[in-house]
């Protein structure tokens, strides 16, 4: 196995997205260090252009690779589909970083319907549409607090065996890590982004790839408040 920062890989994936065929190889680079090599062709006016890119990687010993597993997690309290464009979310996080904030509070809850909390046992709202949820991001710095709420987000019930709680759920995350994840996800032409909120445990983000190619998953653990 091997490891590399996700942003480096996403940059290369974005470059070869328009190529009909991409060849990957794990080899030693020009300096003798391990790399993941990408070879692909980009269309030109007269002829295709052959492109080679190398991404430095760290080869993981077999004994270490055996310990790397997806962390066991309970079912999330909320599964929320994020806005189709992550630009606004990313902009909010950048403003929070600019004022010196280190951590971010993520809060989620089912939206109220008709002045009362929507029935958590139902997957449909009072008007017959899918249930909606809101997601609130809050960051505090020494002199300022920034809060932003994203409302009317689709509440995803697929795969859930339990109903969402009646009240909001919260968790504190590293602002830097979450900003890096969103920046990487923004480069991917995903069909949808799903945020799974597990109170005081983690925020798991899924980028659903087009043509049912799979999904990109990011796990951001909660930090102590």
- Name the nearest CA neighbour of 72 among 187, 201, 223, 188: 201
Q: Using CA atoms, how far apart are residues 52 and 106, in angstroms rounded to an integer?
A: 40
At residue 137, the pLDDT reads 97
Range of weakest confidence among 48-52, 156-160, 185-189: 185-189
pLDDT of res. 173: 97
Which percentage of the chain shows pLDDT scores above 90?
51
Which of 38-47, 127-136, 143-152 holds the top average pLDDT? Answer: 143-152
Residue 106's closest CA among 116, 121, 115, 96?
96
Distance (Å, whole) CA 91 – CA 96: 9
- Residue 121: its pLDDT value, please? 44
Per-residue pLDDT, averaged over 195-207, amounts to 95
- Looking at per-residue pLDDT, the higher value among 65 and 161 belongs to 161
Six token digits for residue 98: 């600019």
- Residues for the chain: how many in total? 225
Strands 192-198 and 78-81: antiparallel
pLDDT tens for 74-124 read 999 999 999 988 999 999 999 999 999 999 999 999 997 654 444 444 445
4-8, 78-82, 155-159, 161-165: the lowest-pLDDT one: 4-8
pLDDT tens, 120-138? 444 454 445 678 999 999 9
Secondary structure (3-state) at 60: coil
Which helix (H) or strand (E) is 175 found in, with range?
Answer: helix 175-186
Short-list 111, 115, 122, CA closest to 168? 111
**Rounded Cα gap, residues 157 and 163, in angstroms:** 8
Average pLDDT over residues 62-76: 85
The DSSP bridge partners found for residue 121 are none
Question: Residue 142: left (phi > 0), alpha (psi -120 to 50), or beta?
Answer: alpha
């Amino acid at each position: 196995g091997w490891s590399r920062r996700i942003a480096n890989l996403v940059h290369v994936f974005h470059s070869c997205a328009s190529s009909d065929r991409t060849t990957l190889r794990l080899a030693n680079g020009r300096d003798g260090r391990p790399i993941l090599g990408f070879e692909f062709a980009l269309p030109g006016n007269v002829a295709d252009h052959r492109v080679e890119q190398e991404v430095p990687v760290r080869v993981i010993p077999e004994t270490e690779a055996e310990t790397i597993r997806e962390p066991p997690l309970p079912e999330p309290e909320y599964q929320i589909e994020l806005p189709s464009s992550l630009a606004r979310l990313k902009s909010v996080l950048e403003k929070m970083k600019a004022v010196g904030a280190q951590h971010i509070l993520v809060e989620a809850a089912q939206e109220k319907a008709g002045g009362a909390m929507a029935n958590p046992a139902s997957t449909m709202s009072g008007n017959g549409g899918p249930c909606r949820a809101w997601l609130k991001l809050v960051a505090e710095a020494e002199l300022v607090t920034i809060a932003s709420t994203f409302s009317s987000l689709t509440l995803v019930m697929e795969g859930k065996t339990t109903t969402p709680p009646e009240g909001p759920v919260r968790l504190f995350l590293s602002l830097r890590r979450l900003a890096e994840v969103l920046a990487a996800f923004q480069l991917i032409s995903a069909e949808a982004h799903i945020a799974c909120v597990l109170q005081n445990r983690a925020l798991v983000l899924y980028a659903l790839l087009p043509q049912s190619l799979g999904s990109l998953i990011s796990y951001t653990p909660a930090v102590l408040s």
